[in-house]
């Protein structure tokens, strides 16, 4: 089986349409003869958490989680601000 790397910020437990797009893509790649490997952030600051998608992750998919530098986290650390002002 051929292997393909999916690099995504949005993967469960993230909520929203972005996570659904990647989940379904990984699911149907397997049905087409491709073995997906998902590379995602381990320390992501998701807008909201939705654990209802956790059960939709296909069994046996390799998920690689790695910490990333969050630009907004760095901004908060340097300025002490919660949000940007407009």
Q: Quick one: pLDDT band at residue 3, thresholds 50, 70, 90?
A: very high
Is the Cβ–Cβ distance between 21 and 8 less than 8 Å? no
Burial of 50 (0-12, 13-18, 19+ CB in 10 A): middle
Q: What is the pLDDT of residues 4-63, one digit of tens each?
A: 999 999 899 888 888 999 999 999 998 899 999 999 999 887 777 888 888 888 889 999
Sheet of 62-66: strands edge to edge? Answer: 2-7, 34-41, 62-66
For the chain, the domains span 2-79
Q: What is the pLDDT of residues 7-18, one digit of tens each?
A: 999 899 888 888
């Amino acid at each position: 089986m051929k292997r393909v790397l999916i690099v995504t910020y949005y993967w469960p437990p993230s909520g929203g349409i972005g996570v659904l797009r990647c989940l379904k893509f990984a699911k149907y790649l397997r049905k087409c003869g491709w073995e997906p490997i998902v590379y995602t952030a381990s320390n992501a600051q998701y807008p909201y958490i939705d654990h209802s998608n956790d059960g939709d992750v296909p069994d046996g998919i390799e998920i690689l989680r790695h910490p990333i530098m969050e630009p907004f986290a760095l901004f908060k650390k340097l300025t002490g601000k919660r949000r940007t002002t407009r």
